[in-house]
A and B are shown apart, each in its own frame.
Chain A
Amino acid sequence: MAATAESVLKPDFKSQRKHFIFTDEHEQLRESIRSFATKELAPHAEEWEETTFPDSVFRRMGELGFLGLDKPEQYGGQGGDYYSALVLAEEIGAANSGGLAMGLAVQTDMAMPPILKFGTEEQKREWAEPAIKGEKILCLGITEPDAGSDVSGIKTRAVRDGEDWVINGSKTYITNGHRADVIVLVTKTDPDAGYDGFTLFLVPMDSPGVIREKRLKKLGMHASDTALLAFQDVRVPDTAVLGAVGKGFYHIMWELQGERLIGAAGCVSGAQRCFEKTLQYANERKAFGREIGKFQVIRHKFAEMATKIESARQMVYVTAWRFNNGEYPVREISMAKLHAARVACEVADECIQIHGGAGYMVEYGVERVWRDMRLNRIGAGTDEIMLDVIGRSYGL
C-alpha cells in the first residue's frame, strides 16, 4: 500500500513489517511451523522439562520436511535458502521449549552442515539423508572437561592403527549426547601440528568403547539431553574421517559461524515471545489502582526492551543476508551472536522483574525463558570469545 498523507500521519503499529529478506513463501512456511509447534509441541513443553523431549519429535518434523528446509533435495531436503532455516529457528520458539529448540538446532544447524559440506557421498547418504528424515539423530562433540572456549586445547586423540583410527578421550556438555546415533567428533590427530593437527570423525554412537557417562543437570534447557561422553579405544575405519585429515579445526570454525547465527535468531525469537507474554501481563495486572503497564517506569522498560530486540533482529537479518549471498561475515556474525544473546538475557530478566513475585514462580513460564536464555551467552562461543573474535578482526 502506498503511503498517503493520512497513513503517514497516522502510524499503523499493527501492520506486519515483513523484512526484505523474506518472501511470501517464507511467510507461509513461518505460519505452518508456528502452527505445528503450537499444536503439537507446546502442549507437552512442561512435561518435557521433566523427561526431555521424545525422539519422535525428530521423526515427525522429518515427515513434515522441517529438518531439511535449506538442505539439498538430493538428500531429501527442501532445497530452500538459508532464510528458511532462519524461519525455523524463529518459529520453533512457539514450542515454548528452549531445550527442544536446541536439540533440533544441533541436528539441523550444527552437526548436519559439516556432513553436507565436507562429507563424502557415502557419508551424506548414511547420515545426512536419514537425519533429514528424522530417522537418525546427530550430535556434535567439541567441548571437553578441560577445553571449552579454547578449542585448540582439546585432548581427545585419534591415532592411526593400520587401516583404522583409534580414539581416546572425553567430551562434555554434548546436546543430544544420549539419544544420538552418530557424533561429529573433533579430535587431535597430530599434537605437533598446532591448528593443523585436528581431524573430524563421524563416530557411530553404538561403537564399542563409546560410553554415555551421565546426564548433566543444568540451570535451564531441561528438555534437552546433555551428556558427558567417554571414548575408550574406539576403533573406526578411515572412511569415518569427515573432511580432510588435519583440517578439523578450520572445519569446525566454519561450522560455528552457522551455529552462531542460528543461535542469534533463536535469541531474538525467544526475547520477542517473552516480551509479548509480559506485555499481556502488564496490561492485566493492577497495582496502586491501575494496570502496571501504565506506570511510566514500566512503559519505559517495554520501550527499552522493544528497541533492543529490534536492534538484534536487524543485525541477525542483515548478517543472514550477507551469509546467504555467499559472504563469510565472521565479524558480523560474532557481533550478532554477542548482541542477540545479551539482549535475550536482559529482556528475560526485565520480564521477570515486571512480573514481580510471579516472575520468580515456575507457573508463569518467564523464569524458564530466563534460565534457558542464559545459555546463549556461554554456548557456541562465550561473550568473551565473541569479543575476542571481533577485537582481533580489527588487527588488535
Chain B
Amino acid sequence: MSLDPPFTSEHEELRESVRGFIERELAPHAQQWEEDRWFPDEVFAKMAAQGLLGLKYPERYGGQDGDYLHEAVLCEELARTGSGGTAAGIGAHVNIATPPIWKFGSEEQKQRYLVPAIRGESIGALGITEPGAGSDVAALSTRAERVDGGFVVNGEKTYITNGVRAQFIVTAVKTTAEGGHGGISFLIVDRGEGVESSKLSKLGWHASDTATISYQDVFVGEENLLGELHGGFKLIMANFQWERLAMALGAVGAMQIAYERTAEFARQRNAFGRPLSGHQAIRHKLADMATSVYTCRCVTYDALRRFVAGEDPLKEVTMAKLLTQRAAFELMDEALQIHGGAGYMREYWVERAARDARLGPIGGGSDEIMREILGRVLAL
C-alpha cells in the first residue's frame, strides 16, 4: 500500500501497533462501556503502558519524543474503538487538556501535571464552555478573584469531557471585571473542595462522562496560573488548531471504517433477489461515501502537513474541520439508511456511529463558527 504524505513507514508501523492494541483492548468493550455510560479509568493506564498518552511529548516528561504526526496516527486509529465517548475521553486528555500545560506551563507545572498525565495516573479535562458562553468564548463569566497567594474561583463550566473523572481541570477564568479577550486567564484547578461535577445525558458519546462542573469559592494557588495573567485568550486560540485537526483526523478514521463495514453489509444482505450492492441506488450511495472519505482524507492530510511544517494553516484547518465533521455525519446517516431497520437498532454499530458523529458539527467550534472564521480569513 502506498503511503499518504505526510506519513512515513515509521508512522505506518505505529499505526499497525496502535490498531492492534485498540482492536484487542478497547473495541471489544465498547458496547458495554456505552451501556454503562462510562469507560473505566484503567483505560488511561493501559494506554500509558503502551506509551500512547505521550506520543508527541518529550522523553524527559515520560513521552515518546514523537511529533504531531505520531499523535495524528492515534487520533485516526482511536475511531476503531467504536465508541465515540471513549475516544473523546482519551482525546480530551491528550489533545486538549495536556497540550496547554506542555506549551505554556512552567517546568514545575509540567512535573506536577504533565508527567503523571502521560503515565496515565492523573486524568485531565479542559474547561472553557459555560452555560451562557459556548461559541462566544469571550463571554465567559467564571470569575477568579485575586487573594493572597492565589485566586478564588466561582462559576460554572459545562459540556466538559472527562468532567467527572478528571483530577485536574485546565480552566478558563475571568481575571478582570470586564473579562473579554484581554481579561481571561487559565488556572489548573485540582479536584477538591468546592469543585462539584454532575454528569450530563447526551445524544451520543455515551461512554464519556461529559459534565457540568461548578466551582464554589475554590482556592487555587498562584503556582497554578497557567501562562500569563490575562493572556488566556491566546492559549485558547493556540490549541484550537490542533484540537480541530484532531477532530478532522478522528472523522476520517471513523468514516473509513464505516464505509468498509457498510460496503461489506451491502454485499452480504439480499433484497429482491440480489445483494444490496447489486442495486444501482445503493451502489451509487457507496460510491459517494468512498469519495467523501477520500476527499476528507486529502483535505485533512494537507492541513496536517502544513501544521506539522510550522505554517499557520488557519484556513486549511478550519476548512478541514468544517468539511469533515459534516461529511462524517452525513456518511454515518447514509450508512444507517443502507442498513435499513437494522440501522435503527442498538445491536448494530451504525446508530451509535451516527449519534457520535453528530457532535462533530457542534464541538470544537460549531460549523457556524468555522464559517465565521473563514469569512475573516478570506477577508469577506
Q: Does A9 reach chain B (CB closer than 8 Å)?
A: no
Q: Which residues of B contact A148 (CB under 8 A)?
A: 271, 340-341
Cβ proximity bits A130-155 to B, threshold 8 Å, 1 near / 0 not: 00000000000001001111101100
Q: Does A377 reach chain B (CB closer than 8 Å)?
A: yes
Q: Does A172 reach chain B (CB closer than 8 Å)?
A: yes
Bound form: Cα–Cα A230–B200 in Å: 38
A361 adjacent to B200 (CB under 8 Å): yes
Q: Does B213 reach chain A (CB closer than 8 Å)?
A: no
Which chain B residue lies CB-closest to A353? B361
B341 adjacent to A356 (CB under 8 Å): no
Bound form: Cα–Cα A165–B139 in Å: 71
Q: Which residues of B contact A297 (CB under 8 A)?
A: 368, 371
Q: Which of B317-357 contact A (CB under 8 A)?
A: 336-337, 340-341, 343-347, 351, 354-355
Bound form: Cα–Cα A395–B134 in Å: 53
Q: Does A352 reach chain B (CB closer than 8 Å)?
A: yes
Bound form: Cα–Cα A5–B365 in Å: 49
B136 adjacent to A288 (CB under 8 Å): yes
Cβ proximity bits B111-137 to A, threshold 8 Å, 1 near / 0 not: 000000000000000000100101110
Bound form: Cα–Cα A148–B271 in Å: 8
From residue B138, how far is it (CB to closest CB) to chain A in Å?
8
A150 adjacent to B271 (CB under 8 Å): yes
From residue A39, how far is it (CB to closest CB) to chain B in Å?
26
Q: Does A218 reach chain B (CB closer than 8 Å)?
A: yes
B282 adjacent to A374 (CB under 8 Å): no
A353 adjacent to B362 (CB under 8 Å): yes
A384 adjacent to B281 (CB under 8 Å): yes
Q: Does A219 reach chain B (CB closer than 8 Å)?
A: yes
Task: Indicate whether A378 sits within 8 Å of B343 (C-beta atoms), given known contacts A353-B362, A383-B337.
Answer: yes
Q: Which residues of A contact B351 (CB under 8 A)?
A: 218-219
From residue B46, how far is it (CB to closest CB) to chain A in Å?
28
Bound form: Cα–Cα A371–B359 in Å: 14
Partner of A219, one of B158, B202, B282, B346: B346
A219 adjacent to B201 (CB under 8 Å): no
Q: Which residues of B contact A353 (CB under 8 A)?
A: 361-362, 366-368
B366 adjacent to A378 (CB under 8 Å): no
B341 adjacent to A143 (CB under 8 Å): yes
A356 adjacent to B347 (CB under 8 Å): no
Task: Indicate whether A359 sits within 8 Å of B341 (C-beta atoms), given known contacts A217-B347, A297-B371.
Answer: no
Cβ proximity bits A252-279 to B, threshold 8 Å, 1 near / 0 not: 0000000000000000000000000000
Which chain B residue lies CB-closest to A216? B345
A374 adjacent to B336 (CB under 8 Å): yes
| Interface size band for A | 35 or more
Bound form: Cα–Cα A143–B341 in Å: 9
Task: Indicate whether A360 sits within 8 Å of B282 (C-beta atoms), given known contacts A153-B272, A217-B345, A219-B344.
Answer: no
Bound form: Cα–Cα A379–B344 in Å: 10
A357 adjacent to B341 (CB under 8 Å): no
Bound form: Cα–Cα A288–B369 in Å: 11
Q: Does A370 reach chain B (CB closer than 8 Å)?
A: yes
Q: Which of B249-294 contact A (CB under 8 A)?
A: 270-272, 279, 281-282
Q: Which residues of B contact A146 (CB under 8 A)?
A: 270
Task: Indicate whether A357 sits within 8 Å of B134 (C-beta atoms), given known contacts A148-B341, A367-B202, A377-B337.
Answer: yes
Q: Which residues of B contact A143 (CB under 8 A)?
A: 341
Q: Does B155 reach chain A (CB closer than 8 Å)?
A: no
A379 adjacent to B341 (CB under 8 Å): yes
With a 10 A CB-CB cut-off, give which of A353, A363, A370, A379 has the most chain B CB atoms.
Answer: A353
Q: Which residues of B contact A147 (CB under 8 A)?
A: 271
Q: Which of A288-304 contact B (CB under 8 A)?
A: 288, 297-298
Task: Indicate whether A360 sits within 8 Å of B134 (C-beta atoms), given known contacts A375-B344, A378-B340.
Answer: no
Task: Indicate whether A378 sits within 8 Å of B344 (C-beta atoms), given known contacts A357-B362, A360-B362.
Answer: yes
A219 adjacent to B337 (CB under 8 Å): no
Bound form: Cα–Cα A143–B337 in Å: 16
Bound form: Cα–Cα A222–B270 in Å: 28
From residue B369, how far is it (CB to closest CB) to chain A in Å?
9
Q: Does B159 reach chain A (CB closer than 8 Å)?
A: yes
With a 10 A CB-CB cut-off, give which of B340, B341, B347, B354 has the most chain A CB atoms.
Answer: B341
Q: Does A317 reach chain B (CB closer than 8 Å)?
A: no
B340 adjacent to A382 (CB under 8 Å): yes
Bound form: Cα–Cα A357–B157 in Å: 12
Bound form: Cα–Cα A43–B367 in Å: 34
Q: Which of A361-395 contact B (CB under 8 A)?
A: 361-363, 367, 370-371, 374-375, 377-379, 382-384, 387-388
Bound form: Cα–Cα A374–B340 in Å: 11
Q: Does B99 reach chain A (CB closer than 8 Å)?
A: no
Q: Which residues of A contact B346 (CB under 8 A)?
A: 216-219
B203 adjacent to A357 (CB under 8 Å): no
Q: Which residues of B contact A371 (CB under 8 A)?
A: 203, 355
Q: Does A287 reach chain B (CB closer than 8 Å)?
A: yes
B135 adjacent to A287 (CB under 8 Å): yes
B202 adjacent to A361 (CB under 8 Å): yes
Bound form: Cα–Cα A286–B134 in Å: 10
A360 adjacent to B359 (CB under 8 Å): yes
Bound form: Cα–Cα A174–B139 in Å: 49
Q: Which residues of A contact B202 (CB under 8 A)?
A: 360-362, 367
Bound form: Cα–Cα A153–B347 in Å: 23
Q: Which residues of B contact A231 (CB under 8 A)?
A: none
Q: Does B192 reach chain A (CB closer than 8 Å)?
A: no
Bound form: Cα–Cα A74–B368 in Å: 57
Q: Which residues of A contact B91 (CB under 8 A)?
A: none
Q: Which residues of B contact A379 (CB under 8 A)?
A: 341, 344
Q: Does B204 reach chain A (CB closer than 8 Å)?
A: yes
Cβ proximity bits B64-89 to A, threshold 8 Å, 1 near / 0 not: 00000000000000000000000000
Task: Indicate whether A356 sits within 8 Å of B134 (C-beta atoms), given known contacts A370-B203, A374-B344, A375-B344.
Answer: yes
What are 13 residue pairs bridging A and B, where the CB atoms are less than 8 Å apart in the complex? A148-B340, A149-B340, A150-B272, A173-B345, A216-B345, A218-B344, A219-B343, A219-B345, A287-B135, A288-B135, A359-B203, A360-B359, A361-B203
Nearest first, the 4 closest Cβ-Cβ pairs linking A and B are A217-B346, A362-B201, A367-B203, A219-B351
Query: Which residues of A pack against B, CB within 8 Å?
Result: 143, 146-150, 152-153, 172-173, 216-220, 286-288, 297-298, 349, 352-353, 356-357, 359-363, 367, 370-371, 374-375, 377-379, 382-384, 387-388
